[in-house]
Amino acid sequence: MIQRRIRVAGIIVIILFAVFVFRLAQLQIIHGEQYTRMAESNRTENRPIPAPRGKIYMQQEGEPVIAVSNRLAYTASVIPANIPRGETELISERLARLLGMEAGEISSRIHAGQRALPVRIMRNLTPLQLLKLEENMDQLPGVLIERIPIRDNIYGSTAAHLLGYVGEISQSELTRLYSQGYRSGDLIGKSGLERHYESFLGGVDGVRQIEVDSHRMEITTISKQDPQPGADIYLNIDLDLQLEAERILKEHIRRLQEKAEEDEELMGGPTGGAFLAMEPDSGKILAMASYPTFDLNLFAGGIDRDELQKLQNNFHRPFLDRTLQIAPAPGSTFKVITGMAVLKDLGLNPGDQSVHCGGEFSLGPQTWKCWLEGGHGRLSFYEALAHSCNVAFYRWGHELHHQGNNTIQEVAREFGFGVLSGIDLPGERAGVVPDRDWKSANLKGPWVPGDSVNLAIGQGDLQSTPLQLVNMINTLANGGYLMQPYLVDRVIGEEGEVLWEGQPQVIRKPDVSSTILNQMRQSLQEVTESGTGTRGFGDFVPEVAGKTGTAQTVPGQPNHGWYAGYVPADEPEISFVVFLEHGNDSGFAVDVGREFLEYYFPQAEEVSEE
């Protein structure tokens, strides 16, 4: 009996083994390939290698000097696919505790990210954060610490507006740029040059195929495709001029703000300002300062939300680039344009005392006052411009209105007002040159003589950016060529090849005779020699040519202060504009220009002292 049963047991065992061999064959031979693929995808992962962005250089004594570079920083990232199912909230909470963030924000970013790509939670970890993270890695499945390049802005807040900052790609940018290889989590230029030259600066990410263990921890690199770094950009900006312009602008504005605390007439003092310097013959921007500014390095690791809120809610709006993102009334600086229209259409001899200022100008029930109480008396064209007599320009504006011409507007447009300058920066405003059509379209009203009167002195609905103003004055400086302003001299690829070169470009030669141009240049010298610029520039060598401007703003708010000029008056080397937002008086703008020129022409002071 026992032996029979043992035989049966033996047969059962043999059958079972046959089943096992069959099952093995099924797994290993029939489905072998499929399981091999599964094992491969188990152990491998593709991780992007972020490309370092191109560097940005400025100039210093003719040599390139680095202004924006990269540095490697530790970044806490999450690969959503590697988080054990259902633990996203738990991991988010742990990360939030370690990094001092909000768990909700982390988890929503994890959910929004692509499953297989790292979602960057916090860039630029502090050593303490890094340490805490590393100590707790075993409790953070799916989290990885990457070492990736972030922006290093060497001069911090210098030229912050024009250089711009980078940030994580937004959903709408991603939709637009996906085909160009951008992926979620990538950094992309958000403002300034970083944004405008993104296609050069961006580079192409590499990819690394790595072997991971069951905890998705990296074991080795299997293969690697190196990233292609972004191209380097060389600016026309002169670092020393830029630093100096920013310092001077800041000091003057701060001083005026302090002064305003005691002097009620200043009505709080300037709320900001801008300074632009341009090379007359080329249109190269040499310095471009906007105040207040902000520290670009706050953005290097993705800005802290509180910090961002603070900046955005700041009353003085530090993010606003006051060189081209605002378009206030240019005030009396616009008399340069009106003046040329007058010389063009009214045919008066600028030396003749052909106009009288009695302190006010009336038109029906309306009365406009000259800034000088009691009036300027009889004036020539030169004198009227030098002293910036409003009444003279009211009269001329009114006369031009009666001729039925739009000469002021035409000249203004010829000199670049009312349209984008086309500078290589995003966010520029076009400003407004108001005329009959504009007014009926935008204000639903007829163009009345008063409109022409206001326009003549650069008020009313006229709007211009400081950039447009420097371009206008520059056109006089170089003898009549409206130049294309530009910041980037060249873009150099990885192997030194020139990918793009900025060339001086004439936008147009305004339709104004050389006689009129020379008369206007003469007038601008008169401003310095005997007019509103005398106090500031009268003793300055070389001679300065330029025009002051005090632009009225909304009632109850202090005026804007303007100055636009070029030096030396006969052979200009540099054109510049100063804008003090609510700076009260053009005199303060002149002070800023004076200090800048003292820096730019260091020998000047010595000469004048002798």
Partner 1 sequence: MRYNKKVFRQVDLTLPLLAFFLVCIGLIMISSATQPSPDAWQTGHFQRQLVSAIIGFLLMLVVTFFDYRLLRDYYLFFYGGALVLLILNLMRGGEGGVAAQRSMSIGPLAFQPSELTKMGLIILLSYILSQEKDEISATALGKTLLATVLPFLLIIRNDLGTSLVFGFILLVMLYIAGFPGLYLLGASGGAVLGVMGWILVHLQWGIWIPLKEYQLMRIIVFWNPGMDPFGYGYHLIQSKIALGSGNITGKGIFAGTQSRLNFIPEQHTDFIFSVLGEEMGFIGAVVLLILYLLLLLKGFQVSFQAKDRFGSLLAAGITGMFGFHIFVNIGMTMGILPVTGLPLPFVSYGGSALTTNLLAIGILLNIYMRRQKIYF
Contact residues: partner 1, CB under 8 A: 1-3, 5-10, 13-14, 16-17, 19-21, 23-25, 27-29, 31-36, 38-40, 42-43, 84-85, 211-215, 219
How far apart (Å, rounded) are the C-alpha atoms in residues 475 and 480? 5
Output the smallest distance, CB 26 to partner 1, in A. Answer: 9
386 closest CA partner among 194, 602, 188, 547: 547
CB atoms within 10 A of CB 183: 16
Distance, in Å, from the CA atom of 114 to the CA atom of 237, rounded to the nearest integer, reads 40
Q: What is the DSSP secondary-structure string of 168-216?
A: EPPHHHHHHHGGGT--TT-EEE-SHHHHHTHHHHS-B-EEEEEEE-TT-
Which of these, 413, 419, 405, 416, lies nearest to 452 by C-alpha position? 405
C-beta closer to partner 1: residue 32 or 104: 32
The candidate with the shortest Cα–Cα distance to 84, out of 257, 270, 215, 227, is 215
Q: Decide: residue 175, CB within 10 A, 0-12 exposed, 13-18 middle, 19+ buried.
A: exposed
Torsion of CA 253, 257, 258, 259, to 10 degrees: 100
Q: Which is nearer to partner 1, 8 or 131 (CB)?
A: 8
- Choice between 171 and 214, CB closer to partner 1: 214
CB neighbour list of residue 597: distance below 8 Å, 6 or more residues apart? 537, 540, 544, 567, 604
Nearer to partner 1, 45 or 173 (CB): 45
* Nearest residue (CB) to partner 1, 212 versus 545: 212
Q: How far is the CB of 245 from partner 1 (least distance, A)?
A: 59
Q: Which residue, 27 or 498, has its beta carbon nearer to partner 1?
A: 27
Q: Which of 138, 145, 102 is nearest to 123 (CA)?
A: 145
Nearer to partner 1, 7 or 97 (CB): 7
Distance of CA 42 to the CA centre of its chain: 46
- 1 vs 128 by CB, closer to partner 1: 1
Shortest Å, Cβ 117 to partner 1: 20
CB 81 to partner 1: min, Å? 11
Q: Is beta strand 232-238 parallel, antiparallel or unpaired with respect to 56-60?
A: parallel
Specify the residue, 45 or 186, whose C-beta has the smaller distance to partner 1. Answer: 45
Of the two residues 3 and 603, which places its CB atom closer to partner 1 in the complex? 3
How far apart, in Å, are the Cα atoms of 585 and each of 143, 267, 551, 559? 58, 11, 8, 7
3-state secondary structure (DSSP) of residue 540: coil
Distance CA 286, CA 323 (A): 13
